[in-house]
Every structure is written in C-alpha cells, then in structure tokens.
Amino acid sequence: MSAATGTSILGIWNALSNGLAIVGAFVADSYLGRFRVVAIGSISTLIGVIILWLTSMIPQLKSSTCSQFQHVCNGTTAIQLAVLLSSFMFMSLGAGFVRPCSIIFGADQLEKKEKPENQRLIDSYFNWYYASIGISTIFAVTIIVYIQDRYGWQVGFGIPVMLMFCSVSMFLIGSPFYIKVKAKESLFIGLLQAVVAAFGKRFTNIPLTNFDDCYHQPHESEFLELSNDFRCLNRACMIQDPQRDLNPDGSATNPWSLCSVEQVESLKVLLKVLPMWSTGIVIFVMTRQFPFSVLQTMTMDRHIFPQFEVPAASFSVFMMIAFTIWIIFYDRVLVPLLPKYTGWSRVLSPVFRMGIGIIVSCVSMALSAITESIRRQRAIEEGHEDDLSALLNMSAMWLVPQYALLGVAEAAYSVGQIEFFYSLLPKSMSSIASAMATTGTAVSCLAASLLVSGVDWLSSTGDKTSWLSSNINRGHLDYYFWLLTFLSLLNFLYFLVVCRLYEPGNNGRSRLSLEAEEIQSDYRLLPESS
C-alpha cells in the first residue's frame, strides 16, 4: 500500500486505541471489574499481535513487492487488507481495555484502608508505572527496531508475540492472589439518569438548606452529604412525593426521575475535573510534532561517533530517556531528600507537577523555534535552500535538549495528572480517572491534526510558501514552533485560572489516607458563599 494509506491507517488505529479507553473504563467500573477487563484486553492484544506476525509469515497474506523496474504494482488485496485491519482492531480493543484499567488495578493491590502508610507506596507506584512505560518504549524503538531491520519482520514481529504471550500467562497465573474490586451497577447509565432527572425537574425550586429527608440517599450510598457545587443538579435526587417516588423498600420507583445522592455527586465530581483535564490537550499536542523534527534531523549531521549515525526516526529515544530519568530522579532522589530540608510530608503535589510540565513544555517549544531558526539560516547560507538531500554543517545533537525538555514535561504532567484524577474521583470511578488521561491523548491527536491543517492552509494563502512546507528550508517551521510556544503560554495562564477552582487539602495527601478518615478526596472546590 502507499505511504499515505499506511499513515492514515496507523493514524486511525492510534486514535481508536486511545478513544476506546473510555469504553474499557466504563465496562470495568460498571460490569466486569478491572481484572476481567485487563485479562480480555491482554488476550485481545495477543491475538492482534499474532495475526500481525502471520502477515509476515504466510505468503498469501503478504502484499507483493515491487521491483525498481515496475511502474504499476499489484498492491494489497482485499483479503490481505482485511487481515491487517483485523490485527489492528484486536490490538485497539486490547489497548482500550488495558490502558485505563491496568494502572488502577495495580493501585487496588496496594490500597488498604487499615494501612494508611501505603499512601507513599501508591505515590511511588504511579511513578514507576510510567517509568516502566518509558523503559519499554526505549526498548521498542531501539532493540526491537534493530532486530526488525537486521533479521526481518518475521523475527521482528515474533519477539513481541513471545513477550506478549509471557505477559498474559504471568498475569493470568497470578489471578488467585489479586485483590479484585467488584463492579457496581452501570456507572454510565447512572450518570445519564442524573442528567435526565435534573433536566426533568429544571423548574423545581431547590431548598436553601440540605435536609436528609429531602434527597434520595440509600444506606449503601458512598457519599454522606450533598455538596453545593452545581446545585442545579441537586434536583435529580430531590424527593417530591415520597409515596409516588419511593418503593416500600426505599428504592426509587423511576430511576430516570429520581436518582441517589451518590449518582449526583459522581456526575458533579466528573464535571469538576474536566477543566483540569482540558489543560493537558495542548501539552500532548506538543508531543505530536515528531514528524517535523524528523525532517529537521534528516538535513543535519546525525553522527555521534564517526562510525555511528543515529537514524532520524530514532531521535525520539532521547525524549523517552529524559522521561524515564525524570521519574526515577523524582521518586528516588527528590522524594527522600526534600522532606528532610523542607519538612513537607509530600514533595510536590500533583497539581504543582502538572504546572511544571506545562512550563517546561513551553520552554521546549521556544528552544525548538530558536534551533530551527538557526538551522534554516545555516541552510540558506550554505546554499541548500532547494536541496533537502544536502547535509548541513550542523550537528543534530542540537535537537537533543528540546527532546529532553519535552520528555521531562510529559513525565511531570502525565504522572501528576493521573494522581490528581485518582485522588479526586470516587473509588467507583477509578478506571475513568485513568481513561480520561488516555482520552486526552486521543483528543490531542485530533487537535494536532486540525492545527497542522489550519496553519498549512492559512500560511500558504496568496501563493506563499507554507510554514509547514515539505521543503523545510523554504518553509518557516520556526514560526510554527513559536505559535506552539504562544499556545503553551496561554495554556499555562488557563491552568492558573483552573487552579483557582481547587485548593489542596491536608498537605496534598492522596485518597488512601483520606478515605481512611472518611473524607472524599484531597482536593475540593473552593467553598461557595451562601
């Protein structure tokens, strides 16, 4: 198939894999539980990897190669394309089920109310979970890519199949020893019922004070008190006529017109985290600019040693190395040392680390713009304005600092974000906490595509050379990076506004210690004036 078709398929696969995370989260929290969802997702991923491996093993599933003398190639048959897409479908389903649930399933094993000291262990767990992602990515883009290039696709795909088989086997063997949190009734339906019930009672007056007998609150309800945030939603759980609205056992006669306090509060807390969730879209857009960086490195000297040249597409490994080093440095150095000198029970709160990530991403984009301006000017001075195949007298190592800063930014923000969501959302929505972060990645992919298309169209009007021209020596990629810097700065200002909605409580402790004291979370909206 053509490069454009392959790129489109991979783009759809990436968006689908991230978008399905919200589906996996709802299935886990509402129906099957996290263990079953992770198991199904792992097996689905294994099936997808096996099918992909078979496309390199079975001749009938491989597209015919084109020699340099052929002007027209046979291309890919319908069956070959269907088999390839089926492998992507299984892997997308697996990723959508595993990504939002695996990290929370691991936290379930550590969260014990009778041991509040496990709070530090959970904080460290989140750091090392993301560190393992960084290490595995480095392994994939270096060793696996080298094996595929050296020994072919059959061996290159066969090794991931073996690793995935071992992973699934080990996970299933440990089943008897896991703590498995049971799923509750459909969370999605409960949230939808709260919206419908509140809208149906939109003309009903809300009491100035909250009386327990005014609201439907079953004994097993997780929330003990109805908050004053988004008070318009309180109508959903208001009891207007007890004889009409309630059954003899205390349950609602019509759950679409009367909801529990827990349903309403679950909807409220989900709405509360959306502004903070939206601050991550821009920073994840920054990490989607790698294709332009590849074009830069292809025009520069990529030699580290005279006999060793780093492939242009492998420069992302510097970002993952910085990503991993930051997480390890934070967990192993900053966390043990800073409390000794500051007296803080927790080094940096999740929100503070998210802010660090946004600031560092802004610096990274500014550095990218400066470096590209220097590279472009040198290309013009050396007379390579129309010759992309010419190598500039400039080392590609100039790009390493911006990659490293972007890796630190993603590490600081990603881990802080998942800890923030996990601390704020109730236990019944833990998988959604992880899914929101993954869904943010899917949204950022779409936002990045729209941004690139918009900039390319606007900058090329009037027969002018686009900023994002394939000939980057004639384009102005540096202007585009300055635009991203400006957007990142605006995002930081927006982040500060969002932070005004939240105040850290109890020195930023996580939900573990707070639930031990029967408090909902360690972040609250600022109290409203009565």
Identity of residue 221:
S
Query: How much is the CA Rg of the chain, to the nearest whole Å?
Result: 26
Of 100-114, 213-227, 263-277, the least confident: 213-227
Of 30-34, 214-218, 264-268, the least confident: 214-218
Cα 280 to Cα 40, 138, 273, 276: the distances in Å are 29, 23, 12, 8
Higher pLDDT, residue 168 or 25: 168
Q: Report pLDDT digits (tens) over 309-327.
A: 787 777 888 888 998 899 8
Distance CA 106, CA 93 (A): 20
| Full DSSP string of 350-409 | HHHHHHHHHHHHHHHHHHHHHHHHHHHHHHHHTT-TT-TTSPPSSBGGGGHHHHHHHHHH
Q: What is the pTM of this model?
A: 0.74
- What is the DSSP code (8-state) at residue 279? T
Q: Report pLDDT digits (tens) over 109-130.
A: 887 655 555 666 777 788 888 8
Distance CA 377, CA 363 (A): 21
Confidence of residue 213 (pLDDT cuts 50, 70, 90): low
In this structure, the strands spanning 502-504 and 523-525 are antiparallel
Q: Average of pLDDT values for 474-485? A: 90
Distance CA 394, CA 437 (A): 38
Higher pLDDT, residue 391 or 492: 492
Please state, for a pLDDT cut of 90, what percent of the chain lies above it: 17
Which residues have CB under 8 Å from 39's CB, separation 6+? 171, 172
Confidence of residue 10 (pLDDT cuts 50, 70, 90): low
Distance CA 393, CA 385 (A): 14
CA proximity to 376, closest of 355, 356, 357, 398? 398
Q: Report pLDDT digits (tens) over 414-428.
A: 888 888 887 787 766
Residue 486's pLDDT is 95
* Angle subtended at Cα 269 by Cα 19 and Cα 529, rounded to the nearest 5 degrees: 145
Residue 358's pLDDT is 94
Confidence of residue 530 (pLDDT cuts 50, 70, 90): very low
Higher pLDDT, residue 42 or 242: 42
